């Protein structure tokens, strides 16, 4: 969570008084290079997950599995039937 902060600037008026102007800063932005790194990491991670999923589907389609236990086969089929769990990181 970002901490709220405030920005102030002072203004010297002709009468010699100093006027302070305080205004809250709603969002503190990270430097642009940090944002670029975060974006590239997210894009890379998304593409990597997509390619890994394609690879696993290809390997499963080509696999010849000899099931020794019907319960294990049932669990495997149930696992394949479930939608892929994706998390937003």
Summarised one tens digit per residue, pLDDT across range 27-51 is 677 777 788 888 888 888 989 999 9
pTM of the model: 0.46
DSSP state of 82: S
CA 82 to chain centre: 23
Residues 6+ apart with CB under 8 A from 76: 65
DSSP H helices in the chain? 32-62, 70-81
Report the mean per-residue pLDDT for the chain.
Answer: 77
Residues 6+ apart with CB under 8 A from 6: 22, 23, 24, 25
Which CA distances in Å does 73 have to 2, 20, 40, 55, 85?
49, 73, 39, 21, 21
């Amino acid at each position: 969570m970002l901490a709220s902060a405030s920005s102030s600037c002072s203004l010297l008026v002709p009468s010699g008084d100093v006027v302070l102007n305080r205004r809250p800063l709603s969002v503190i932005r990270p430097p642009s290079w940090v944002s670029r790194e975060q974006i590239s990491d997210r894009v890379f991670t998304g593409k990597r997950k997509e390619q890994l999923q394609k690879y696993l589907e290809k390997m499963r389609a080509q696999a010849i599995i000899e099931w020794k236990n019907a319960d294990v086969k049932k669990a495997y089929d149930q696992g394949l039937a479930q939608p892929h769990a994706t998390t937003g990181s």
